[in-house]
Structure 1
Amino acid sequence: MPVTPTEKKKPRKTVRRGTPAYVKSLRGVKNWKEASEWLAWRDIEDIECITPDQAGVARGKMMPSKKFISNSTLALPSAVFMVTISGDYPDDGHGFVYPEDDGDLRLVADLSTLTVVPWESDPTAQVLCDLVYQDGRVAEFTPRNVLKRVVDEYAKLGLKPVVAPEIEFYLVRKNPDPDYPLTPPVGRSGRAIGGGQGYSIAGVNEFDELIDDIYHFSEAQGLEIDTLIHEEGAGQLEINLRHGDPIELADQAFMFKRTIREAALKHDMYATFMAKPIQGQPGSAMHIHQSIVDKKTGKNIFSNEDGTESEAFYHFIGGMQKHVPNALVMFAPYVNSYRRLTPDASAPVNVKWGYDNRTTALRVPRSDPQARRVENRIPSSDANPYLALAASLACGLIGLKNKIMPDAPVATSVNRNEVELPRGLIEAVNLFEEDAELKALLGISFATTYAAIKRAEFETFMEVISPWEREYLLLNV
C-alpha cells in the first residue's frame, strides 16, 4: 500500500512493553488524561475539532494539541447550522425564526472519536464534537444531537437499534467549471471507465492505488470497511460498513465520505456523493439496514423465540410505510436527489415491502432469525448520514409505539407505474411539515430549521436557468 506523507516524515513509533492499550488504540480514548498520552505518543501537533452541519459538511476549528488538552472552550456561531448548501440563510416563517442574538454554540469533544488525520503532511488528529448552548443545554437542532434524541427514545423502551449503511459514490474527472457535465475518470488501463461494471473485479482494479489509499486511510482511523464493490455506473463504487450502533455508524459514514474525497484528490479525481451526478447513469444510494435488539437480552425483537417474524417486525415496517413519504426530505435532501428517484429504475418511488425484492422501498433480505432486518432503499448518498438514520429509525419507532400494521408483502416488480413518494423537493418539505408526530420525535427546533433551509435551497435553485430550458424554450415558445 502507498505510504502517506506523515509516515515519510516520521518513522512509526515503536511499541514498548508497558505501553497502555489506550495509547495504541487507533480510535478513541476515555478521558482527557488518556487523550493527552495518546496525542503525545504520536507527536500530534494539531487537532481538528469538527462536527457535521445540516448538509453533513465538516465544520469546526483547528487548534494546537497543547491547547486542546487544556480543555479550552471552543465555540461556533449557531448560524452555521442554519445555512443552506450555497451559504445563504433562510427567511423566517413556517415556525422558523432566525435567532436575534446569533449566539454561539459550544463544541464538546467526544473523545471516543479521537483519531489521526492520515492524509495530512504534519501529525494531525481529529475529534468529533457535540454542540450545546452556553448554559449546557443540548442544541437539539444539530444533526448529531437529532440522531442521539431518536436513539434515546428507543432506550426508554429498553431497545437498541442496530444499523449498517451502504454508501455508493462516483469517481469523476476533475471538473472546475460547473457549466460542463461530469465525465468518468481514466483508470489504470488508460481508458475512460464505461458503465455496466456491476460487481466487476476488473472495474475495481482500475482504481487499485486509490482503493489502497482508501483502505490505508480507513485503517489508520480505525474505520471498518465490510466490503467494497464496483456498481453499475461508470466509475461508481460502493462501500458497505459493518453493522453497529447508529451514532457510531453515522460517525463512520461521515468520516468515510471525507476520507474517500481526500483519497480521490490525491489521485487527481473527484469523489462525489451527488445522488445523480451523470445523466444517463444510475444514481447513488445510501441503503440502510436496520434491526432492533432488546437491551437486556440482546435478542433481535424482529424474531420470535421459534424464529418466526414478530409483531414488532410488522409494526416497524408499518411505521415506515406510513411516515417515510413525510420524512423523504431527510433521505432526498436536494433538487438533484429526485433525479435518482424515478419510475422504472432501481431507486424506489414506492413504500411497498417484500422479501429480497429490490424494487420495493423496504426490502427484507434473506437471513437467519437473529439477523432479521429491514433495508431502507430510499436514501440517496447525498443525505446527511445522521439525519437519514434518525429519520428512518424514527419512522420505525412510531410504528412500534402505535402498533401500525403494514400492507401485505409484494413479490413482483412495483417500481413502474405507482408513484407513492413526492417527485420534488418542495412537495417533500410540505409533507414533512404536516407530520406532527414525526416532527415531535425529531425535535421541533430541528424540524422548523431544516424545513426553512430546504425551502430556501429550492428557491435558490429556481433562480437558475438550465440548458434544457435554453434548448427547448428559447426559440420554440
Structure 2
Amino acid sequence: MADWTEQLPDAARAYLEGRRLDEVECVVADLPGIARGKAVPASKFARQKSFHLPDSIFYQTITGDWGEAAGEEGFIERDMILRPDMSTATAAPWTGDWTLQVIHDAFDRDGDPIPCAPRNVLKRVVALYEAQGWKPVIAPEMEFFLVARNLDPAKEIEPMLGRSGRPAAARQAYSMTAVDEFGPVIDDIYDFAEAQGFEIDGITQEGGAGQLEINLRHGHPVKLADEVFYFKRLIREAALRHNCFATFMAKPIANEPGSAMHIHHSIIDTETGRSLFSGPQGGDTDAFFNFIGGLQKYLPSAIAILAPYVNSYRRYVRDHAAPINLAWGRDNRTTGIRIPLSGPESRRVENRLAGMDCNPYLGIAASLACGYLGMMNEVRPDKQFRGDAYESDEDIPRVLGQALDIFDEAADLHEVLGREFCRVYSIVKRTEYEEFLQVISPWEREHLLLNV
C-alpha cells in the first residue's frame, strides 16, 4: 500500500495525510460523460494493475437504453482492460469515508486503445498535433445552474432559493451580491476543489437565474478535460449538500440563457516554445487564420458532438447569449468564434458553440480536430465580422437529426476523431433521438389535442 500511495499527486497525498484510505473509485467516462466503473477496497486496489468492464458501456444512451453499435460480432459485451492513470488520482471529499477517485484508460486484449472511449478520442487528436511539433493548450469555461430540487419531470425547473430565502433572480450578471446568495454552495465547491488539487480561476454570476460560471486555468487538453469531468461531479455533490440541484443542461429554464462550455485554444511550437498564433513582431500568423478557418469550415460537422441532445439546440437563440452562426470577431461575444483581448504571447481562439452538456473529452477533441484540419488544409476564414452577429444569418444546425446527418458525411472529421468512434457515436445518438421522438410533449397536448 505504501509504495503506490507515495506516487500519488501532491493533493491526494495531502488529503490522506494521517488518515487511512478506505476505498478507491475506478472510473471511466462514457459517451455522455457519466462516470462508470467500480469502487474497490483500497487493499484490493493496491494489488490490482487493471480491472474489467464490458465495452457495451459505450453503446448506452443517456436514458439507459442501448444503441445497436456492437459491430459484426454482435452484442457480446466483450471485456475491456481498464488501467489507472495515477496522475488523475484525487479525493472524493463528499464521501463518508476516505476515498480516492482514479480515471482509467480503456484498452482491448491486444493492448490497443478502445477507439470509442472518449478519453482515448481526445488523446488521439492531441497525438496528431504532437506529430506536427505542436502543443495544443486549452482553457474551458463551465456554466451551470443551481436549481430547486426537481423530482417530477413534468414540473418546470425553477431557480433555487438563495441565502436570502428568495428565488435566484435573473439579469444580475457579474453581481457579487448574486454570487453571495449561493455562498454556502460555492464554499463547498471551493473546499472540494482544494481537496482535489484543482485551481479555480474565478466564479461569476452569469445572466440566468441561479446561473454561475467557473473558469479554469489553461493547460494540457487531457488534463483540463479530466478536471471538467471531475468538476461536474464535484459541483453536483456540493449542491446536494444544500438541498438543491446543479444542472449542466444546455437550456434548463425557458426564457433564460443556456449554459455553455466555451473552449479557448492556443497552440505552442514545441521546438521554439512560442505561440503559433503570433509572429516574431507580434502579428497574426497564417496558422492563426487557418485555425479560425478550420473552425468555420468543419464545426457544422461537429455540432452533433458539441450539442449532443435535443435540448442542446434550444440554447442557440438569437440575442440570448449563445451564437447562432460561425462568424468570427475580435472581442465580440455575439460571434460563434471570438478572439479575446490578449497580448501576442497569449493570443487564443475561443469556440463559443459547445454546450455544457457535452462530454468534455469529446467537445474538446472535436474543437481541436476542426482547428487541426484548418491548419493542415490551410483553410482561410471569412472576413472578420464587425458589429452584432445576431443580425446576420444562422448557419449552424438547429435540430439534432440535422446535425447527425451532417456529422455522418464528415469524412475528414472521421479520420481525425477515428472512424470507429464516429460510427458508434452516430448510432447511439440516433437511438436517443428516436427515443425522444416517441415522447408526446405538454405543448403538443395543449395546442393539438382539441385544435387540429
TM-score bin, normalised by smaller chain: over 0.9
Task: Count residues with an aligned counterpart.
Answer: 448
CA distance 1:463–1:416, change in 2 (3 Å)? farther
The C-alpha deviation readout for 1:176-203, integer Å capped at 9, x for no partner, is: 1111001011111111111111000000
| Mapped contact 2:149–2:244 kept (Cα < 8 A) | yes
Alignment of 1:219 with 2:194, yes or no, is: yes
Which residues in structure 2 correspond to 1:363-442 (within 5 Å)? 363-442=338-417
Which residues in structure 2 correspond to 1:31-430 (within 5 Å)? 42-91=19-68, 99-430=74-405
1:298: Cα distance to partner?
1.5
Write the distance in 1 (CA, Å) between the matches of 2:73 and 2:349: 38
1:97: Cα distance to partner?
5.3
TM-score by structure 2 length? 0.96
Write the distance in 1 (CA, Å) between the matches of 2:261 and 2:72: 32
Write the distance in 2 (CA, Å) between the matches of 1:27 and 1:250: 19
Number of the residue aligned with 1:34: none
Write the distance in 1 (CA, Å) between the matches of 2:158 and 2:72: 41
- Percent identical: 50
More divergent stretch after superposition (444-453 vs 84-93): 84-93
CA distance 1:66–1:41, change in 2 (3 Å)? farther
Write the distance in 1 (CA, Å) between the matches of 2:243 and 2:394: 40
Number of the residue aligned with 1:26: 11
Aligned to 2:391, the other structure's residue is in SS state: coil
Write the distance in 2 (CA, Å) between the matches of 1:211 and 1:182: 21
User: Residue type matched to 1:315 in 2?
Assistant: N
The C-alpha deviation readout for 1:362-405, integer Å capped at 9, x for no partner, is: 00011100100000000010010000000000000001101010
| Mapped contact 1:23–1:41 kept (Cα < 8 A) | no
User: Residue type matched to 1:62 in 2?
Assistant: A
Alignment of 1:471 with 2:446, yes or no, is: yes
Moved over 3 A (4+): 20-24, 37-42, 96-100
More divergent stretch after superposition (414-423 vs 257-266): 414-423
1:23: Cα distance to partner?
6.2
1:121: Cα distance to partner?
1.1
Aligned to 2:262, the other structure's residue is in SS state: strand
**Structure 1 unaligned blocks of 5 or more:** 1-19, 29-36
State the superposition RMSD in angstroms.
1.7
Aligned to 2:386, the other structure's residue is in SS state: coil
| Mapped contact 1:319–1:397 kept (Cα < 8 A) | yes
| Mapped contact 1:54–1:81 kept (Cα < 8 A) | yes
Aligned to 1:26, the other structure's residue is in SS state: helix
| Mapped contact 2:51–2:82 kept (Cα < 8 A) | yes
The C-alpha deviation readout for 1:51-102, integer Å capped at 9, x for no partner, is: 1100000000000111111124311110011111011112359xx6574432
The C-alpha deviation readout for 1:193-249, integer Å capped at 9, x for no partner, is: 111110000000001111110000000000110010000100000000000000000
Aligned to 2:123, the other structure's residue is in SS state: helix
Write the distance in 1 (CA, Å) between the matches of 2:69 and 2:279: 49
TM-score by structure 1 length? 0.91
